[in-house]
Amino acid sequence: MTFLRPTLLALSCLIASPAISSDLPSLGDASSAIVSPQQEYQLGRAWLSLVRGQVSQLDDPQLKDFVESSVYRLSETSQLQDRRLEFVLLNSPQINAFAAPGGIVGVNGGLFLYAQTEAEYASVMAHELAHLSQRHFARGLEAQQRMQIPVMAGMLAGIIAAAAGAGDAGIAAIASTQAAAMQEQRRFSRQNEQEADRIGLVNLEKAGFDPKAMPRMFERLMRQYRYDRMPPEFLLTHPVSESRIADTRNRAEQFKGEGITDSLRYQLMRARVQLIYEDTPGVAIKRFRSMLDENPGIDAARYGLAIAQIKGGQYSQAQESLQPLLKKAPNDISYNLAMVSIETAGNNLNGASTRLERLLSLYPNNYPLNQAKVNLLIKQGRIQDAERELDKLLKRRSKDPDIWYQMAEVRGLKGDTIGLHQARGEFFALVGDYDQALEQLGFAKRRASSNFQLASRIDARERELIEEKRIIEQMMR
Ligand SMILES: [Zn+2]
């Protein structure tokens, strides 16, 4: 996916123009001052597709699964009423996390690089969940009607800027200052930030984490960027001040008892992210090796070494690195998936299949395991079986563009042209390209003309997408 400059600049103009609010279309009932939760939900999903169309994402099932399950777990002890969440994991080493109206939760890969423990990561996510539960977006609307759409356009520009990072400083600077100015006023008022800290902290503690992780995270960020002329987007919208740190520290110290600070699972995921942003697998191998030289007991470093070796094509060394880990935890999903890639690379497809089936009997609904099974079935040429497994995955992940993309491929291999176009249509809609989506559905409908039921199903879907497209166009106007 590409970084679309013209759109970004158009957005910057949109944000810069104060007159824009008067001719913006209102969503739904113009007489109601506040966007209803249902409208917020719709708006959020449409907005997510814009984000997906403009910023490259991480498609690693293990990372996606970790973010989703960790945030769902946090949401259980949060004040969030509507827990229909949708996630996006952006491929950027810059630190950022955000929540948008309608239950959209986004994370940059960079958050894993900066948050050194799971509790630190969770403190950022709990803060974002608090923005959602307090409906800071809708409440900003009370002050000025119909401001929702420019706020979301501003957030989009900010998120793109945060993903682009310092590498594209010119554009990032324009977009982020304007987005930040906008957000400063609306979403990120100091009061909202304070409330999100306070409510997030309570949530963190209720979820069993050490609440002191929040001030620790803030302190680390402040130390790191104290002298930076151009701090990352996240800090522009979430300025960390001495008083903010002191306030969260005071509150955190009131909690009694020992909370969780970290987990091996988080550190394994962190190793995966570190590998993504390392220049070469060789550099990563060296770094994980030297960590192990210092402390051979760090399992996450050993795992990092193994996956770096796999990425570098050193399969037998990788297998050696994994042995002590598998001995300790024979049923660990990450370790076994690493073995599956080694077996697959060595064309030991039966070995990989036996391993996956054993793990799936323990964790039948695990997304990364089921995804690995699909990949293996395709490799084995078992296309029908792969499609059946993808169908099952789509029942639980119907809004996941990665799965629709693969479904289109599999249906193409099978020679199911109508199904191929339908799957492509869903994929394009999820990444905000509604023209392509509608074109694909048009192809499907024409081919299905002799099958009345199928054709009218496609027709109904077409009408839904036209409505979604309308919402998007309002947002971008
Ligand atoms: Zn915030």
Rounded Cα gap, residues 197 and 363, in angstroms? 35
Are 88 and 363 within 8 A, CB to CB? no
Ligand 1 centre from 239 Cα, in Å? 9
Residue 447 has pLDDT above 80, yes or no: yes
pLDDT tens string 188-206: 567 788 888 999 999 999 9
Residue 320 has pLDDT above 90, yes or no: yes
Closest-CA residue to 157 (of 140, 136, 172): 172
Among the ranges given (95-99, 134-138, 271-275), the one the predictor scored with the smallest mean pLDDT:
134-138
The active-site residue out of 197, 233, 278, 387 is 197
The alpha carbon of 255 is separated from its chain's Cα centroid by a whole number of angstroms, namely 30
Residue 222 has pLDDT above 80, yes or no: no
Ligand 1 centre from 348 Cα, in Å? 48
Q: Residue 148: pLDDT band by 50, 70, 90 thresholds?
A: low
Decide the pairing of beta strands 104-108 and 86-90.
Answer: parallel
Ligand 1 centre from 215 Cα, in Å? 14
Ligand 1 centre from 228 Cα, in Å? 20
Ligand 1 centre from 120 Cα, in Å? 15
pLDDT of 342 = 98
Residue 130 has pLDDT above 70, yes or no: yes
Q: Which residues are CB-contacts of 206 (< 8 A; sequence separation ≥ 6)?
A: 77
The whole-number average pLDDT for the span 261-286 is 97
pTM score above 0.75 = yes
Q: Residue 232: pLDDT band by 50, 70, 90 thresholds?
A: low
Kindly write down the DSSP assignment for every residue of 127-153, as one continuous string.
HHHHHHHTTHHHHHHHHSTT-HHHHHH
Ligand 1 centre from 195 Cα, in Å? 9
Decide the pairing of beta strands 97-100 and 104-108.
Answer: antiparallel
Tokens describing residue 396: 């639980």
Decide the pairing of beta strands 97-100 and 86-90.
Answer: unpaired
At 432, the amino acid letter reads: G
The phi and psi torsions of 81 (rounded to 5 degrees) equal -85, -55
Mean pLDDT of the chain: 84
Q: Which residues are CB-contacts of 285 (< 8 A; sequence separation ≥ 6)?
A: 305, 308, 309, 312, 314
Ligand 1 centre from 241 Cα, in Å? 13
Ligand 1 centre from 297 Cα, in Å? 37
The whole-number average pLDDT for the span 132-155 is 63
Ligand 1 centre from 248 Cα, in Å? 14
Rounded Cα gap, residues 428 and 407, in angstroms? 13
pLDDT of 470 = 87
pLDDT of 198 = 94
The alpha carbon of 217 is separated from its chain's Cα centroid by a whole number of angstroms, namely 20
pLDDT tens string 58-85: 999 999 999 999 999 999 999 998 889 9
pLDDT of 449 = 92
Residue 403 has pLDDT above 90, yes or no: yes
Ligand 1 centre from 131 Cα, in Å? 7
Cβ–Cβ contacts within 10 Å for residue 428, how many?
A: 25
Ligand 1 centre from 98 Cα, in Å? 8
Round the CA-based radius of gyration of the chain to a whole number and report it.
23
At 331, the amino acid letter reads: N
The whole-number average pLDDT for the span 10-36 is 37
The active-site residue out of 128, 210, 299, 387 is 128
Rounded Cα gap, residues 68 and 108, in angstroms? 13
Report which of residues 384 and 131 the model is more confident about: 384
The whole-number average pLDDT for the span 322-332 is 98
pLDDT of 153 = 67
Cβ–Cβ contacts within 10 Å for residue 365, how many?
A: 9
pLDDT of 35 = 64
pLDDT tens string 234-247: 666 666 778 888 88
Cβ–Cβ contacts within 10 Å for residue 349, how many?
A: 16
Annotation marks residue 197 as catalytic: yes
pLDDT of 140 = 56
Residue 331 has pLDDT above 50, yes or no: yes
Rounded Cα gap, residues 148 and 12, in angstroms? 16
The whole-number average pLDDT for the span 267-280 is 97
Q: Residue 418: pLDDT band by 50, 70, 90 thresholds?
A: very high
pLDDT of 32 = 42
pLDDT of 13 = 28
Q: Bin 215: left if φ > 0, else alpha if -120 < ψ < 50, else beta.
A: alpha
Report which of residues 342 and 98 the model is more confident about: 342
Q: Residue 427: pLDDT band by 50, 70, 90 thresholds?
A: very high
Ligand 1 centre from 223 Cα, in Å? 19
Annotation marks residue 258 as catalytic: no
Among the ranges given (117-126, 182-191, 390-399), the one the predictor scored with the smallest mean pLDDT:
182-191
The phi and psi torsions of 304 (rounded to 5 degrees) equal -60, -45
Cβ–Cβ contacts within 10 Å for residue 357, how many?
A: 11
Rounded Cα gap, residues 71 and 204, in angstroms? 11
